[in-house]
Chains A and B, each alone.
Chain A
Amino acid sequence: MSAMRVDAKVVMLGKESVGKTSLVERYVHHRFLVGPYQNTIGAAFVAKPIQVGEKVITLGIWDTAGSERYEAMSRIYYRGARAAVVCYDLTDSSSFQRAKFWVKELQNCEEHCKIYLCGTKSDMIEGDRSLRQIDYHDAQDFAEEIGAQYFETSSKTGKNVDELFQKVAEDYNSSAFQFMTEETGVDLGQKKDSYFYSCCHNN
């Protein structure tokens, strides 16, 4: 059991094999495992302490099952999340459509959850520009529209990976203060609404 205290819950969302797990694996263990059918590496949950200014913030990073089979349950996963990294494969336009679906879900269900849009496998398009299926500006526009940060990452080279999670932690740090003061200002009777009360009513 991890006795580690976790400050914020961060969920990784995205279609199967877009590289959610690789991204976490790269970030936490600084490695990239190579293999032909390599959509699965790393543990599903990691607690990672990050230095933000003077403070250390521990992110609990939740990997989720991306298969459409479990789509109906995804709401259970991101409940109470403070940040969501919505991943899509830069070389796969269908994964971008799925990413849009999750963004919509998040906007409807988790207003406290900050969204980070993340195009993965950027090393592949650097090698061959024709592989790119999602235009940078399209993605950027979409991110702006939903008020999200946009990153293009590569778990293979490590590009933008640390930056992504650093940003998540920094945003959490600055918003946590806001959130806290907001919270104490709230009437006790309304406590029901605070994020941790409703964890899982799966029916």
Chain B
Amino acid sequence: MSQRTERRGIHVDQSDLLCKKGCGYYGNAAWQGLCSKCWREEYQRVRQKQIQDDWALAEKLQREEEEAYASSHAVHSQSAPGHASLTPFSKFEEKKTNEKTRKVTTVKKFFSPSSRTASKKETQEGKTPSPSISRHASFDTDQVSKDFVEFLKNLYKPGREIHKQCRAFLVSMSNKKDLGADELSECVQDFYQSLADRLISHFKGSSESVEQVMDQVEKYIMTRLYKSVFCPETTDDEKKDLATQNRIRALHWVTIQMLCVSMDEEIPEVSENVVKAITDVIEMDSKRVPRDKLACITRCSKHIFSAIRITKNEPASADDFLPALIYIVLKANPPRLQSNIQYITRFCNPSRLMTGEDGYYFTNLCCAVAFIEKLDAQSLNLSPEEFERYMSGQASPRFSSSEGTWPDGSQGVGTAVTNPVLAQLNTNLELLSGLCSRQEAVMEAAQSLQSEFLSWTQSVQREVNDILEKYPLEIKSSKVSAIDANNVDNENLPSPIKPQVFAG
């Protein structure tokens, strides 16, 4: 028994080490318990399935598109359910097949950017050279295309027209990759303009519905073009991004007082809003559609406004807002800020956004960035010497007020009043030390458990030994089984024959 308990912890059965497929080779945990050969097979199978799934999705999309056209083509057939209306529908069907074959080729064009689909379907159409819209981005784009088709379904004929135009535009854009960013921007803007004009003049759309359509068009087009036109290599956007990032880093010492920001971060609600504003402006980089990016800026601005409102107990004006936004940008140091601004400027549908509320906040963000770039001693009400010292890191305005307190976690209460960041730091430190002591307790308990285990096995062993000593194994004379004593070695032998014969 004692031997068994000792083994339990480390014992691994031979079968556990072998490949799960049972091929007889040893498996590996990294290959999910399979041997290299079986793993490769399995992996291929999963991959194949994935490819098929992608395919199915592509085909589904294509079908949906065709349906969208069908519904725009034969509006009244939609009202009747599929089977019941077969006879009147068949006429349409005929007409449609022509339509369909034509459509399919264009649809191919539509999917060709994803290389895998293209390789299978490029029979008629030449592959559109568009590696920019790469495969791994296709999930997002597929979703957007799906939504777009869904949206256009409700528009019948104009929807079809819009879709055609968009696809043609995307194809033409994929051939224009060598153009500079400004030219690309011009192409997109021209497209927005001409499509909007067309919608108004040809389809007599109300300005509201046109706007709605244009929003969707922007979403669709820009999601598809994002990769190739965001921070393109032809511009020095990336360099500017880095410059701005470093600039903001170098200005880490700028305080809320220097900017004359009327936000009091000691009020919990205010600091909450500040954190939200920072999150929003950082989130901007993760969006693809210019409008979504703008929405992030707007949300950020709204949080700033509420922060100011809470602090001052009255609504904020531009005189409060701009400094606060500058402060938020300095604190957040949003990734790829310049690229994002350039991207929005170049590819946002301008007709409404540059005059509306989003436009206002965006303009303020541009101002904030421009201010940060040009910021000097005068704009912070500092003497040039002070500014130089802060910039070179020789002095820090922050530590002059709460010098020496921050490295010492025990004085957290004192610093909490002077600086909310330090307070946060201190609470974090406290949390960490709490976790540390708990970790120690766990370790102690684990160790005692371990020693208990060891002593337990020992005690069990001892007990067993005691018992063994007490009741030594006495091999009693085998007289008890005397009758069979002779047969012990011949167990396999049949029973004695004699009595059988006698009985018979």
Chain A interface residues (CB < 8 Å from chain B): 1-2, 4-9, 16, 20-21, 33, 39-45, 47, 60, 62-67, 69-70, 72-73, 76-77, 79-80, 188, 191-192, 196-197, 199-203
Contacts and interface: CB of A to CB of B under 8 A. Distances in A.
Interface string B311-322: 010111111111
B357 A16 contact: no
Given A60-B356, A70-B322, A199-B359, 12 more contacts: A1-B295, A5-B211, A5-B356, A41-B317, A44-B364, A45-B357, A45-B360, A45-B361, A197-B189, A199-B354, A199-B362, A200-B362
Contact of B352 (A5, A73, A197, A199): A5
Given A70-B322, A203-B373, A43 B367 contact: no
Interface centre among B193, B295, B315, B361 (most CB of A within 10 A): B315
Question: Contact residue range for chain B?
Answer: 35 or more
17 contacts: A5-B207, A21-B317, A21-B319, A40-B319, A41-B315, A44-B321, A45-B357, A64-B318, A65-B319, A65-B323, A66-B318, A70-B371, A73-B366, A188-B190, A199-B362, A200-B363, A202-B341
Interface centre among B190, B315, B363, B364 (most CB of A within 10 A): B363
Nearest to A10: B355
Interchain residue pairs A-B with the least CB separation, the first 7? A196-B350, A21-B317, A63-B318, A73-B367, A45-B360, A65-B322, A40-B317
Contacts of A2: 356-357
Contacts of A202: 341, 366-367, 369-370, 373
B459 interface: no
Interface centre among B357, B358, B360, B373 (most CB of A within 10 A): B360
Interface of B, secondary structure class, is: helix
Contacts of A69: 371, 379
A7 B373 CA distance: 32
B350 A191 contact: no
B305 interface: yes
Contact of B355 (A42, A80, A200, A201): A80
A202 B354 CA distance: 15
Contacts of B433: none
B44 interface: no
Interface centre among B298, B321, B341 (most CB of A within 10 A): B321
B316 A44 contact: yes
B76 interface: no
B319 A66 contact: yes
Interface centre among B208, B355, B371, B374 (most CB of A within 10 A): B355
A76 B314 CA distance: 27
A4 B356 contact: yes
Contact of A21 (B207, B262, B318, B364): B318
Given A76-B370, A196-B350, A1 B319 contact: no
B455 interface: no
B345 interface: yes
Contact of B319 (A16, A45, A191, A200): A16
A47 B354 contact: no
B355 A44 contact: no
A114 to B, nearest CB: 15
Contacts of A20: 317-318
Given A76-B366, A200-B366, A202-B370, A1 B358 contact: yes
Interface in B70-98: none
A79 B374 CA distance: 19
Contacts of B373: 202-203
Interface string B223-258: 000000000000000001000000000000000000
B186 interface: yes
B351 interface: yes
A32 B193 CA distance: 42
Interface in B267-315: 295, 298, 305, 312, 314-315
Contact of A6 (B193, B298, B356, B374): B356
A9 B362 CA distance: 14
B115 to A, nearest CB: 35
Contacts of B262: 40
Interface centre among A33, A42, A70, A199 (most CB of B within 10 A): A199
B367 A9 contact: no
Contact of B320 (A40, A64, A188): A40
Contacts of A63: 317-318
Nearest to A74: B367
Contacts of A16: 319
A197 B314 contact: no
Nearest to B302: A1
B360 A62 contact: yes
Contact of A72 (B363, B369, B370): B370
Interface string B126-167: 000000000000000000000000000000000000000000
Nearest to B193: A191
B200 to A, nearest CB: 12
A70 B190 contact: no
B351 A65 contact: no
B367 A76 contact: yes
Contacts of B189: 191, 197
Contacts of A80: 354-355
Contacts of A40: 262, 312, 314, 316-317, 319-320
A139 B215 CA distance: 45
A16 to B, nearest CB: 6
B363 A1 contact: no
A60 B298 contact: no
Contacts of B186: 191-192, 197
A76 B354 CA distance: 12
